[in-house]
Structure 1
Amino acid sequence: MAEKKETVKLIGFWASPFRRLVDMALKIQGVSYEYLRGSQEDLPNKSHLLLELNPVHKKVPVFVHNDKILPESHLILEYINQTWKNNPILPQDPYEKARARFWAKFVDEQVGISKTLHRRSFQVIMFLAKEVTGKYFFGGKKIGFLDMIVGSIIPFCLARLWEDMGINMIPEKKFPELNRWIKNLKEKLTP
Protein backbone atom coordinates (compact mmCIF):
# COMPACT_ATOMS: atom_id res chain seq x y z
CA MET A 1 0.00 0.00 0.00
CA ALA A 2 1.40 3.40 -0.99
CA GLU A 3 2.13 5.91 1.75
CA LYS A 4 -0.20 8.93 1.70
CA LYS A 5 1.63 12.15 0.84
CA GLU A 6 1.57 14.78 3.55
CA THR A 7 -0.12 18.04 2.56
CA VAL A 8 0.60 21.36 4.22
CA LYS A 9 -1.05 24.61 3.19
CA LEU A 10 -0.90 28.13 4.55
CA ILE A 11 -3.56 30.70 3.73
CA GLY A 12 -2.27 34.19 4.27
CA PHE A 13 -1.88 37.78 3.23
CA TRP A 14 1.56 38.92 2.03
CA ALA A 15 1.84 41.80 4.54
CA SER A 16 0.56 39.91 7.59
CA PRO A 17 3.14 39.55 10.39
CA PHE A 18 1.12 36.58 11.64
CA ARG A 19 1.48 34.82 8.30
CA ARG A 20 5.20 35.65 8.36
CA LEU A 21 5.42 34.04 11.81
CA VAL A 22 4.02 30.73 10.57
CA ASP A 23 6.18 30.95 7.45
CA MET A 24 9.29 31.27 9.69
CA ALA A 25 8.30 28.22 11.73
CA LEU A 26 7.75 26.08 8.64
CA LYS A 27 11.01 27.25 7.11
CA ILE A 28 12.98 26.44 10.28
CA GLN A 29 11.39 23.00 10.43
CA GLY A 30 12.13 22.38 6.75
CA VAL A 31 8.47 21.72 5.99
CA SER A 32 7.40 22.19 2.37
CA TYR A 33 4.01 23.81 2.01
CA GLU A 34 1.70 25.42 -0.47
CA TYR A 35 1.10 29.10 0.16
CA LEU A 36 -2.40 30.17 -0.85
CA ARG A 37 -2.56 33.91 -1.10
CA GLY A 38 -5.06 36.36 -2.29
CA SER A 39 -5.28 40.11 -2.19
CA GLN A 40 -8.58 39.87 -0.34
CA GLU A 41 -7.43 37.77 2.64
CA ASP A 42 -7.27 40.66 5.14
CA LEU A 43 -9.50 43.18 3.42
CA PRO A 44 -13.26 43.63 3.71
CA ASN A 45 -13.82 41.27 0.78
CA LYS A 46 -12.74 37.99 2.40
CA SER A 47 -12.17 35.09 0.06
CA HIS A 48 -14.56 32.17 0.03
CA LEU A 49 -11.70 29.85 1.05
CA LEU A 50 -10.82 31.98 4.09
CA LEU A 51 -14.47 32.19 5.22
CA GLU A 52 -14.82 28.43 4.78
CA LEU A 53 -11.64 27.56 6.71
CA ASN A 54 -11.88 30.21 9.46
CA PRO A 55 -15.58 31.08 9.85
CA VAL A 56 -15.16 32.21 13.48
CA HIS A 57 -12.47 34.91 13.23
CA LYS A 58 -12.33 35.29 9.44
CA LYS A 59 -8.61 36.17 9.66
CA VAL A 60 -5.30 34.87 8.38
CA PRO A 61 -3.25 32.85 8.81
CA VAL A 62 -5.04 29.57 8.43
CA PHE A 63 -2.95 26.41 8.47
CA VAL A 64 -4.07 23.14 6.88
CA HIS A 65 -2.18 19.92 7.54
CA ASN A 66 -3.62 16.75 6.00
CA ASP A 67 -7.12 18.28 6.08
CA LYS A 68 -6.76 19.41 9.72
CA ILE A 69 -7.51 23.14 9.88
CA LEU A 70 -6.00 25.52 12.42
CA PRO A 71 -6.44 29.30 12.68
CA GLU A 72 -4.48 31.63 15.02
CA SER A 73 -0.72 31.94 14.65
CA HIS A 74 0.31 30.96 18.21
CA LEU A 75 -1.76 27.79 18.06
CA ILE A 76 -0.28 26.99 14.67
CA LEU A 77 3.24 27.42 16.10
CA GLU A 78 2.46 25.05 18.96
CA TYR A 79 1.07 22.51 16.47
CA ILE A 80 4.16 22.80 14.25
CA ASN A 81 6.36 22.41 17.34
CA GLN A 82 4.60 19.20 18.36
CA THR A 83 4.28 17.77 14.84
CA TRP A 84 7.78 18.36 13.44
CA LYS A 85 10.26 17.90 16.25
CA ASN A 86 13.58 18.20 14.40
CA ASN A 87 14.02 21.88 15.44
CA PRO A 88 11.98 22.58 18.59
CA ILE A 89 10.35 26.00 18.54
CA LEU A 90 9.46 26.16 22.22
CA PRO A 91 12.05 25.50 24.91
CA GLN A 92 11.82 22.11 26.62
CA ASP A 93 12.45 23.57 30.08
CA PRO A 94 9.07 24.56 31.64
CA TYR A 95 10.43 27.83 33.07
CA GLU A 96 12.03 28.89 29.78
CA LYS A 97 8.86 27.89 27.90
CA ALA A 98 6.75 30.03 30.25
CA ARG A 99 9.15 32.99 29.81
CA ALA A 100 8.98 32.68 26.01
CA ARG A 101 5.17 32.67 26.17
CA PHE A 102 5.18 35.66 28.55
CA TRP A 103 7.34 37.76 26.22
CA ALA A 104 5.36 36.64 23.17
CA LYS A 105 2.11 37.72 24.82
CA PHE A 106 3.71 41.00 25.88
CA VAL A 107 4.84 41.75 22.33
CA ASP A 108 1.45 40.82 20.86
CA GLU A 109 -0.42 43.01 23.33
CA GLN A 110 1.90 46.01 23.20
CA VAL A 111 3.00 46.19 19.58
CA GLY A 112 -0.19 45.73 17.60
CA ILE A 113 0.40 47.70 14.40
CA SER A 114 -2.89 49.58 14.56
CA LYS A 115 -2.47 50.66 18.20
CA THR A 116 1.26 51.28 18.26
CA LEU A 117 2.39 54.50 19.89
CA HIS A 118 5.92 55.78 19.50
CA ARG A 119 6.75 55.94 23.22
CA ARG A 120 5.21 52.55 24.04
CA SER A 121 6.99 50.94 21.08
CA PHE A 122 10.27 52.37 22.32
CA GLN A 123 9.66 50.85 25.80
CA VAL A 124 8.92 47.45 24.25
CA ILE A 125 12.10 47.66 22.19
CA MET A 126 14.09 48.52 25.34
CA PHE A 127 12.68 45.45 27.16
CA LEU A 128 13.44 43.19 24.22
CA ALA A 129 16.96 44.56 23.77
CA LYS A 130 17.69 43.73 27.41
CA GLU A 131 16.19 40.24 27.03
CA VAL A 132 18.38 39.37 23.99
CA THR A 133 21.63 40.88 25.33
CA GLY A 134 24.45 38.36 25.23
CA LYS A 135 22.40 35.81 23.27
CA TYR A 136 22.51 34.87 19.61
CA PHE A 137 18.72 34.44 19.66
CA PHE A 138 16.22 34.95 22.49
CA GLY A 139 16.33 31.26 23.33
CA GLY A 140 20.07 30.80 22.84
CA LYS A 141 21.79 29.51 19.71
CA LYS A 142 18.66 28.48 17.77
CA ILE A 143 15.67 30.46 16.56
CA GLY A 144 12.72 29.73 18.79
CA PHE A 145 9.15 30.76 19.61
CA LEU A 146 9.98 34.25 20.88
CA ASP A 147 12.34 34.97 17.98
CA MET A 148 9.50 34.18 15.59
CA ILE A 149 6.95 36.30 17.45
CA VAL A 150 9.26 39.30 17.78
CA GLY A 151 10.83 38.74 14.37
CA SER A 152 7.49 38.78 12.60
CA ILE A 153 6.69 42.22 14.03
CA ILE A 154 9.74 44.25 15.08
CA PRO A 155 12.30 44.19 12.25
CA PHE A 156 9.90 43.67 9.37
CA CYS A 157 6.82 45.67 10.38
CA LEU A 158 7.34 48.04 13.26
CA ALA A 159 10.79 49.28 12.25
CA ARG A 160 9.64 49.78 8.65
CA LEU A 161 6.49 51.60 9.77
CA TRP A 162 8.46 54.09 11.85
CA GLU A 163 11.20 54.44 9.20
CA ASP A 164 8.52 55.44 6.68
CA MET A 165 7.72 58.32 9.04
CA GLY A 166 11.40 59.27 9.32
CA ILE A 167 11.93 57.73 12.77
CA ASN A 168 14.64 55.13 13.45
CA MET A 169 13.14 53.11 16.33
CA ILE A 170 16.13 50.78 16.61
CA PRO A 171 19.25 52.92 16.18
CA GLU A 172 22.47 50.87 16.09
CA LYS A 173 24.21 52.98 18.76
CA LYS A 174 21.35 52.72 21.26
CA PHE A 175 20.40 49.09 20.56
CA PRO A 176 23.49 47.22 19.32
CA GLU A 177 22.33 43.87 20.73
CA LEU A 178 18.88 44.10 19.17
CA ASN A 179 20.41 45.11 15.83
CA ARG A 180 22.80 42.14 16.09
CA TRP A 181 19.80 39.88 16.75
CA ILE A 182 17.93 41.29 13.73
CA LYS A 183 20.99 40.63 11.56
CA ASN A 184 21.29 37.05 12.92
CA LEU A 185 17.59 36.43 12.27
CA LYS A 186 17.70 37.76 8.72
CA GLU A 187 20.84 35.72 7.93
CA LYS A 188 19.21 32.55 9.25
CA LEU A 189 15.95 33.09 7.35
CA THR A 190 17.33 34.33 4.03
CA PRO A 191 17.96 31.53 1.52
Structure 2
Amino acid sequence: MRNNQPANPVEVALDDHVLVVSKTDLLGNITYVNRDFVEISGFSEAELLGQPHSVLRHPDMPLEVFEDMWRDLKAGRPWAGMIKNRCKNGDYYWVWSNATPIRESGQASGYIWVRRKASPQQIQWAEATYTAFREKRSGRSKILHGGVVAGGLAGAIRQWLLNASSSQKIVLGMLVGLLLILGGRPDCSVAMSRMPWMYRVG
Protein backbone atom coordinates (compact mmCIF):
# COMPACT_ATOMS: atom_id res chain seq x y z
CA MET A 1 0.00 0.00 0.00
CA ARG A 2 1.25 3.47 -0.87
CA ASN A 3 2.76 5.23 2.15
CA ASN A 4 2.78 8.99 1.59
CA GLN A 5 5.16 10.89 3.87
CA PRO A 6 5.67 13.09 5.76
CA ALA A 7 2.50 13.03 7.84
CA ASN A 8 2.00 15.93 10.24
CA PRO A 9 -0.29 15.94 13.30
CA VAL A 10 -2.07 19.03 11.93
CA GLU A 11 -5.76 18.68 11.05
CA VAL A 12 -7.33 20.89 8.40
CA ALA A 13 -11.02 21.40 9.22
CA LEU A 14 -13.46 21.62 6.33
CA ASP A 15 -16.16 24.27 6.30
CA ASP A 16 -19.77 23.10 6.25
CA HIS A 17 -20.31 24.27 2.67
CA VAL A 18 -17.27 22.52 1.21
CA LEU A 19 -17.97 19.77 -1.33
CA VAL A 20 -14.85 17.92 -2.47
CA VAL A 21 -15.45 16.26 -5.84
CA SER A 22 -13.27 14.21 -8.14
CA LYS A 23 -13.61 11.68 -10.94
CA THR A 24 -11.32 8.80 -11.83
CA ASP A 25 -11.00 6.20 -14.53
CA LEU A 26 -11.53 2.52 -13.77
CA LEU A 27 -7.98 2.22 -12.47
CA GLY A 28 -8.42 5.05 -9.96
CA ASN A 29 -6.43 7.66 -11.92
CA ILE A 30 -7.79 11.18 -11.43
CA THR A 31 -9.53 12.72 -14.46
CA TYR A 32 -11.31 15.67 -12.78
CA VAL A 33 -11.11 17.69 -9.56
CA ASN A 34 -13.19 20.67 -8.45
CA ARG A 35 -11.88 23.83 -6.83
CA ASP A 36 -12.64 22.67 -3.26
CA PHE A 37 -10.56 19.56 -3.89
CA VAL A 38 -7.57 21.62 -5.03
CA GLU A 39 -7.84 24.06 -2.13
CA ILE A 40 -8.12 21.46 0.64
CA SER A 41 -5.47 19.10 -0.75
CA GLY A 42 -2.82 21.76 -1.43
CA PHE A 43 -2.05 20.17 -4.81
CA SER A 44 -2.58 22.06 -8.04
CA GLU A 45 -4.99 20.69 -10.63
CA ALA A 46 -2.05 19.89 -12.91
CA GLU A 47 -0.37 17.91 -10.11
CA LEU A 48 -3.51 15.84 -9.53
CA LEU A 49 -4.77 15.02 -13.01
CA GLY A 50 -3.53 11.67 -14.21
CA GLN A 51 -2.30 10.67 -10.76
CA PRO A 52 -3.70 7.66 -8.88
CA HIS A 53 -6.13 8.64 -6.16
CA SER A 54 -3.73 7.07 -3.67
CA VAL A 55 -1.59 10.23 -3.94
CA LEU A 56 -3.88 11.50 -1.14
CA ARG A 57 -3.74 8.35 0.99
CA HIS A 58 -2.84 9.01 4.60
CA PRO A 59 -0.53 6.42 6.22
CA ASP A 60 -2.98 6.05 9.13
CA MET A 61 -5.61 4.52 6.83
CA PRO A 62 -5.82 0.71 7.14
CA LEU A 63 -5.63 -1.34 3.95
CA GLU A 64 -8.94 -3.05 4.79
CA VAL A 65 -10.89 0.17 4.12
CA PHE A 66 -9.61 0.48 0.56
CA GLU A 67 -10.05 -3.24 -0.12
CA ASP A 68 -13.68 -2.91 0.95
CA MET A 69 -14.19 0.24 -1.13
CA TRP A 70 -12.76 -1.23 -4.33
CA ARG A 71 -14.62 -4.50 -3.81
CA ASP A 72 -17.92 -2.59 -3.76
CA LEU A 73 -17.04 -0.30 -6.68
CA LYS A 74 -15.84 -3.12 -8.92
CA ALA A 75 -19.06 -4.98 -8.12
CA GLY A 76 -20.97 -1.96 -9.46
CA ARG A 77 -22.33 -0.72 -6.14
CA PRO A 78 -21.71 2.65 -4.44
CA TRP A 79 -19.56 2.93 -1.34
CA ALA A 80 -19.69 5.34 1.60
CA GLY A 81 -17.37 5.64 4.56
CA MET A 82 -14.85 7.66 6.51
CA ILE A 83 -11.55 8.62 4.87
CA LYS A 84 -8.52 10.40 6.28
CA ASN A 85 -6.62 12.13 3.47
CA ARG A 86 -3.17 13.65 3.46
CA CYS A 87 -2.54 17.16 2.12
CA LYS A 88 0.48 17.94 -0.01
CA ASN A 89 2.31 19.48 2.97
CA GLY A 90 1.61 16.48 5.24
CA ASP A 91 -1.40 17.90 7.09
CA TYR A 92 -4.59 15.83 7.10
CA TYR A 93 -8.35 16.13 6.84
CA TRP A 94 -11.27 13.79 7.54
CA VAL A 95 -14.19 13.45 5.14
CA TRP A 96 -17.35 11.42 4.80
CA SER A 97 -16.74 9.99 1.33
CA ASN A 98 -19.25 8.70 -1.21
CA ALA A 99 -18.00 6.90 -4.32
CA THR A 100 -20.23 5.75 -7.18
CA PRO A 101 -19.56 4.02 -10.50
CA ILE A 102 -20.15 6.14 -13.62
CA ARG A 103 -22.00 4.24 -16.35
CA GLU A 104 -21.97 5.02 -20.05
CA SER A 105 -23.94 2.88 -22.51
CA GLY A 106 -24.51 0.36 -19.72
CA GLN A 107 -20.82 -0.06 -18.94
CA ALA A 108 -18.78 1.35 -16.04
CA SER A 109 -16.40 4.01 -17.35
CA GLY A 110 -15.04 5.40 -14.10
CA TYR A 111 -16.00 6.61 -10.65
CA ILE A 112 -17.18 9.86 -9.09
CA TRP A 113 -16.20 10.75 -5.52
CA VAL A 114 -18.11 13.29 -3.42
CA ARG A 115 -16.88 14.17 0.06
CA ARG A 116 -18.31 16.33 2.82
CA LYS A 117 -17.21 17.50 6.23
CA ALA A 118 -17.25 14.68 8.77
CA SER A 119 -18.87 15.17 12.16
CA PRO A 120 -16.84 14.96 15.40
CA GLN A 121 -18.65 11.71 16.24
CA GLN A 122 -17.76 10.19 12.86
CA ILE A 123 -14.13 11.19 13.28
CA GLN A 124 -13.97 9.78 16.81
CA TRP A 125 -15.41 6.47 15.58
CA ALA A 126 -13.03 6.30 12.62
CA GLU A 127 -9.93 7.10 14.66
CA ALA A 128 -10.70 4.35 17.20
CA THR A 129 -11.82 1.80 14.62
CA TYR A 130 -9.03 2.35 12.11
CA THR A 131 -6.39 2.32 14.85
CA ALA A 132 -7.66 -1.09 15.96
CA PHE A 133 -7.41 -2.45 12.41
CA ARG A 134 -4.02 -0.89 11.81
CA GLU A 135 -2.65 -2.34 15.05
CA LYS A 136 -4.24 -5.76 14.41
CA ARG A 137 -6.55 -5.46 17.44
CA SER A 138 -9.83 -5.81 15.54
CA GLY A 139 -10.20 -9.53 16.23
CA ARG A 140 -12.44 -11.21 13.66
CA SER A 141 -14.24 -8.00 12.77
CA LYS A 142 -14.02 -6.72 9.22
CA ILE A 143 -14.83 -3.67 7.14
CA LEU A 144 -17.96 -4.17 5.05
CA HIS A 145 -19.65 -1.50 2.90
CA GLY A 146 -17.85 1.23 4.83
CA GLY A 147 -18.86 -0.04 8.27
CA VAL A 148 -17.61 -2.71 10.65
CA VAL A 149 -19.23 -6.11 11.14
CA ALA A 150 -18.40 -8.85 13.60
CA GLY A 151 -16.69 -11.99 12.40
CA GLY A 152 -18.00 -15.51 12.83
CA LEU A 153 -21.62 -16.58 12.40
CA ALA A 154 -23.10 -13.22 13.45
CA GLY A 155 -21.01 -11.41 10.86
CA ALA A 156 -21.87 -13.96 8.18
CA ILE A 157 -25.59 -13.53 8.85
CA ARG A 158 -25.33 -9.76 8.73
CA GLN A 159 -23.34 -9.93 5.48
CA TRP A 160 -25.98 -12.19 3.98
CA LEU A 161 -28.74 -9.80 5.04
CA LEU A 162 -26.90 -6.87 3.47
CA ASN A 163 -26.48 -8.67 0.15
CA ALA A 164 -29.68 -10.73 -0.04
CA SER A 165 -32.46 -9.81 -2.43
CA SER A 166 -35.88 -8.79 -1.10
CA SER A 167 -37.38 -12.12 -2.18
CA GLN A 168 -34.69 -14.07 -0.29
CA LYS A 169 -35.35 -12.06 2.86
CA ILE A 170 -39.10 -12.64 2.52
CA VAL A 171 -38.55 -16.39 2.19
CA LEU A 172 -36.32 -16.43 5.28
CA GLY A 173 -38.92 -14.44 7.24
CA MET A 174 -41.64 -16.89 6.21
CA LEU A 175 -39.50 -19.84 7.33
CA VAL A 176 -38.77 -18.29 10.71
CA GLY A 177 -42.46 -17.48 11.11
CA LEU A 178 -43.39 -21.06 10.24
CA LEU A 179 -40.98 -22.38 12.86
CA LEU A 180 -42.56 -20.10 15.46
CA ILE A 181 -46.05 -21.26 14.53
CA LEU A 182 -45.03 -24.91 14.75
CA GLY A 183 -43.41 -24.32 18.11
CA GLY A 184 -39.89 -24.98 16.93
CA ARG A 185 -36.82 -22.98 17.78
CA PRO A 186 -36.10 -20.40 15.03
CA ASP A 187 -32.45 -21.27 14.49
CA CYS A 188 -31.73 -19.08 11.45
CA SER A 189 -28.21 -20.40 11.06
CA VAL A 190 -29.50 -23.97 10.59
CA ALA A 191 -32.16 -22.87 8.13
CA MET A 192 -29.62 -20.91 6.10
CA SER A 193 -27.10 -23.76 6.09
CA ARG A 194 -29.70 -26.01 4.47
CA MET A 195 -30.45 -23.53 1.71
CA PRO A 196 -27.11 -22.30 0.27
CA TRP A 197 -28.89 -20.82 -2.74
CA MET A 198 -30.36 -18.16 -0.46
CA TYR A 199 -27.11 -16.49 0.48
CA ARG A 200 -25.08 -16.60 -2.67
CA VAL A 201 -23.47 -13.19 -3.31
CA GLY A 202 -23.96 -11.66 -6.73
Structure ranking higher in helix proportion: 1
Largest Rg, 1 or 2: 2
Normalised by the length of structure 1, the TM-score is 0.27
Which one has the bigger strand percentage? 2
TM-score, length-normalised on structure 2?
0.26
